[in-house]
Amino acid sequence: MFVECRGTYAWSSKVCLIFLQVFALTISMEESVALASDGVFGDSESVINHKPARRKLDDIAGSINIDCGIPEDFKYIDAKTGLQYTSDAGFISSGINKNISSKFSSTTLHKSLTNVRRFPQGKRNCYTLRPPEGHGTMYLIRASFMYGNYDELNQVPQFDLYIGVNMWDSVKLDNASHLVMKEILHAPSDDDIYVCLVNIGCGEPFISSLEVRHFHDSSYRTESGSLALYRRLDAGSTTNEIVRFKDDAYDRIWFPYNLPDCESLNTTVPIDSHAETEYKLPSKVMTTAIRPMNSSASLDFDFYIGDSTLEFYVYMHFAELEALQENQTRNFSITLNGNPWGEANIVPKYLHSRTVNNKQPVRGSKLKFSIHKTLNSSLPPILNAMEIYMVKGLLQAPTCQEDVNGISRIKSFYLVEKNWQGDPCAPVQPWDGLTCSNNGYESPRIISLNLSSSGLRGKISPSLFNLTALQFLDLSNNSLTGELPEFLSRLSFLTALNVTGNKLSGSVPPDLIARSEKGLLSLSVANNPDLCTSAQCKENKNSVGPIVAAVVSSLVIIFLALVIIWSLKRRKKATKSLVRSPEETWSLKMENQRFRYSEIVSITNNFQTVIGTGGFGTVYHGCMLNGAQVAVKMLSQSSKQGIKEFRNEARFLMRVHHRNLASLVGYCHEGTDMGLIYEYMAGGNLQNYLSGKFPFSCMNLTSLRKPFC
């Protein structure tokens, strides 16, 4: 019964297709982290009273770093990493700021852990992150949680964490001082990244910090799904310190790892100092390694998983730290649960990193690794670093993008004061007032919208037409004005429409009345004093008929008298020139559609996107109700020749028509507000195409087709 989600493709001359794999990475450390150590976060200083701003991710130092729970007008610089942390007020509209108990606070504790944002209201609360690089590229997203008995209840909560509409991980803390971090390497399909906290009835969710880093390559690859970090280990660490930015260019966090019956091997010479490697491994991690104390023994370690259905990708990093003599060799191979894994014969390079990983995911309730030296090797095997990732299939599709665009514009149009965050339909439950279809893993559709008694003002938003699967619409008991739009009758699945208790005027569209009379639509339009059905309007017209006839007769007599007087005066006047006002010179008698200024504001989303400038004004990108993209050129108030150029251009386009010329869709002339609406040419103009001066390198003829919103 429901219409399918229609893909919306905008072929823009500013976009070159970039394909990167979608990944996700989660880190869940089961052990408690000592709060006295500043190894993970470092110290903080330089508290500044300043409005937070989203920063470009040109490099890791300019990444998004959110300290959840600090005042809106504060930010600070972390002394150890040099990263700037800002308030989360610009990324979420719900929640309450709280400080942790003084019992768990200390001078060595990172500032972002001294406060939290708690969410006592709502089933789900979502942060909206919009990195400037947009979708299709990979990001490291890290969420940190430390309870710190902020509510003085000594009851550690448990809740779920989502990335978009899919489960990321569960947040479980052992005690009030336990720090839990979750990481995900994520390549979003949309420009907005939603991080949602979901209440599962085990205490209210909270969050300490949220960080986003931009990755410049796709080193970590999977066939499908995402990767949740199980372990990231710095083998053979001699300092027992946690390594992160600035030592790691991507701000990956490496935890020290040593094994019994193994000894540490290290060097002071940097690794990969003269080479750009694929994984950009930190030299501080790669300058240490472990090897078995018994030179003839293997290097053995294992991880207990529990669930044998889970799949994993493993990355082992090697670098030779010793300058070998001519009679020395170090060759080894790896087995997993007794089966060969990775490459058959691994020879680490001196002071250069090398990564070995599995091309296909592995599974098992226990992952037991053994690194054996080969028969021709004189030295034991080594291991410098290791990463284990769990495959996460992001199976649930987000809400149909057409519906997302429509409901987002409605939210902005009416300034809806509801907890509308994240995806409209998922996870767990839709936005307040929405009902969505259950299409399994397919994109859900918005089938019901209830904005009754929501304080709505102005006209009925044209963006409602984007909700093409809508069945029930309730706009009752608001202060809506204007006409009941005809496009509502073109929502083919609409079965109930309630607009009672508003200030609508004009007539109910005949198609809505016809559907109501056939029993196809429950139509409620009462308590709109100036709104009438066709029958009522006809009745009112008949009641004033005799009066109108009498008035018309009198006017005809007066008109004839005025014509006679005017004719007599005309004979006495000499020829004189006519001076036309701007309003008079606009008499184009165009067959194209005329738009009101308020409609132009809606089409251009309040003139949000500028795509160029014309002879008499600025050109904006717009989207019509039928989904077609348009270019809207508005007359500049400061243009001296603007009205003349405006009129000439409109008349020219009325007379000249060709399939290779942009056609005139319509116009607007409302007081001093004048505008022309053209067909949107997504592929640029002919001159640019012939000269090869396209702003992107992936141009082809197929991209010149007419785009739709």
Residue with tokens 């202060």, as numbered in its chain: 479
Cβ–Cβ < 8 Å for 247, 282:
yes
CA distance 362 to 588: 72
At 2, the amino acid letter reads: F
Helix segments in 336-418, DSSP class H: 401-414
- Token pair for residue 304? 């207990």
User: Could you give phi then psi for residue 507, rounded to 5 degrees?
Assistant: -115, 150
Identify whether the C-beta of residue 161 lies closer than 8 Å to the C-beta of residue 127: no
Residue 256's closest CA among 232, 279, 280, 272?
A: 232
The amino acid sitting at 39 is G
Sheet with strand 299-304: strands edge to edge: 299-304, 366-373, 332-336, 339-346
Compute the distance between CA of residue 244 and CA of residue 352 in angstroms, rounded to an integer: 20
Q: Of how many residues is the chain composed?
A: 709
d(CA 512, CA 502) in angstroms, rounded, equals 18
Instruction: Determine if residue 365 is left, alpha or beta; phi over 0 gives left, psi from -120 to 50 gives alpha, anything else beta.
Output: alpha
Q: Is 604 exposed, middle or buried (0-12, 13-18, 19+ CB in 10 A)?
A: buried
> For residue 102, which phi and psi values (nearest 5 degrees)?
-60, -20
CA–CA distance, 676 with 678 (Å, rounded to integer): 6
Are 99 and 67 in contact by the 8 Å Cβ rule? The answer is no
The β-bridge relationship of strands 311-318 and 457-458 is unpaired
Q: Binding site for ATP, residues?
A: 633
Residue of 195, 172, 181 whose CA lies nearest to 40: 181
**Distances from the Cα of 224 to the Cα of 314, 397, 574, 634, angstroms:** 16, 14, 85, 47
- Two structure tokens written together for 114: 């001294």
Q: What single letter denotes the amino acid at residue 676?
A: L
Contacts of 28 (CB under 8 A, 6+ apart): 169, 180, 181, 182, 228, 229, 230
Annotated binding site: 633
Task: Please give the single-letter amino acid code of residue 230.
Answer: Y
Residue 270: HSE in the Cβ half-sphere, 13 Å Cα cutoff: 9
User: 552 — alpha (psi -120 to 50), left (phi > 0) or beta?
Assistant: alpha
